Copies of this chain bind each other. A is one copy, B any other.
Amino acid sequence: MLNKLRLLTPGPTPLPERVRLALARDMIHHRKKTFMDMMGQVQERLRVLFGTQDTVLPLSCSGTGAMTAAVHSLFQPGQRVLVVDGGKFGQRWRQIAEERGLQVTTLAVPWGQAVDVAAIAEALKAEPAGVLIQYSETSTGVLHPVQEVAALTRESQALLVVDGISAVGLVPCPMDDWGIDCLLTGSQKGLMLPPGLALLALSPRAWKVAETNDSGCFYFNLPAEKAKLAKGQTLFTSAVNLIAGLNESLDMLLENGLDAVYAKQWALTMLNRAGLTAMGLTLLAPQHFAWGITSVLLPTGIDGTEVLRIALDKHGVCMAGGQDQLKGKIVRLGHMGWVDWADSLAGLHALNKSIIEAGGYCASRDYLESAMAAYHAALQGRPGQPLPNTHS
């Protein structure tokens, strides 16, 4: 009662009321006109979001399901692929590819850093059939230089497969312009929906591969999904209420143009980074950072699990910790989806108080004002300016 619960994890994210009311609508049939008309609207908007002329498929699965669908549809057992592994989700690409029977070359990147484009150029000489990468690596908050990687892969035969789960709707990723071959995302990040729906788009040359491939898994049949979507339907029973919610959230994302959304995400990122820096904390990703999640190292000797517990129990703020090798060592502050500046302020304050209560040191003056100053400066710097390119 004293605190509202504030969900500041890097997914799932809070839900706008418009979306929640759409989720609560009574059921309609997935093979009838009302639904098919809605799918048509959704498709038109998804193409804007993905920056593609081609089809964006809704799949009834989590983001990992879409990653699995991509690997099964685009590659055959025995083929070689290059996996960029700079965190838990890079590892996931490797696991999915291995389960598919691919020969995997791993380009290991220290957690918190982005992949070196030159290393990819070098690895492409071995002519892999594909490059599997995250745009935003959710476990670290790093943004890999996908645009630069795409500039290389589009000149090679390697298909560039991009996990955009914590990127799409948060940071620009125009797949056709950049030459991405497969872009996928989940519903519970920038799209402000509950988990359970994934979206996936392919380039024309990726479609050519998918259309002749045997996916080896009946549930993931992208060409058959595409044929069905041309009729406003999905291959199997659609996740009807998530599609209804998606139509609302896409309407919200597009109503002021995507640039306004990206500008907000950039400003929220500046807010979080400035606030954490003002506390004297060290950011995990110094240079190549995501626009929907900020990871920060905790003072040495402080138990991260305890920090998260205090933040939730005493201040009502739910943040995420580190995964695997970073467990207990970092806090990940989500600022994606239905999160605004005041939510981020709450996150910074809760983190500050919780670190101190857990026995750590961090500066507790001026960090909120510094954060807000950075936010406003970032927003004001926007008009007429191109969006910042974090990779240059």
Contacts and interface: CB of A to CB of B under 8 A. Distances in A.
Contact of A15 (B15, B27, B65, B99): B27
A15 to B, nearest CB: 5
Contact of A188 (B96, B195, B237): B237
Interface string A80-105: 00000000000000011001110000
A216 B99 contact: yes
Given A218-B96, A237-B11, A318 B29 contact: yes
A172 interface: no
A60 B23 contact: no
A193 to B, nearest CB: 9
A328 interface: no
Contacts of A320: 29
**In the complex, which of the residues A27, A32, A239, A240 has the most CB atoms of chain B within 10 Å of its own CB atom?**
A27
A30 interface: yes
A141 interface: no
Contacts of A62: 60, 236-237, 239
Interface string A13-32: 11100001101111111101
Interface in A236-266: 236-242
A345 interface: no
Nearest to A215: B99
Nearest to A197: B196
Interface in A44-82: 60-65, 67-69, 71-72
B196 A236 contact: no
A9 interface: yes
A229 to B, nearest CB: 15
A196 B245 CA distance: 13
A12 interface: yes
B23 A195 contact: no
A164 interface: no
13 contacts: A7-B27, A12-B30, A15-B26, A20-B24, A23-B241, A27-B188, A32-B318, A61-B219, A64-B236, A186-B237, A188-B237, A194-B240, A195-B240
Interface of A: 5, 7, 9, 11-15, 20-21, 23-30, 32, 60-65, 67-69, 71-72, 95-96, 99-101, 186, 188, 194-197, 214-220, 236-242, 312, 318, 320
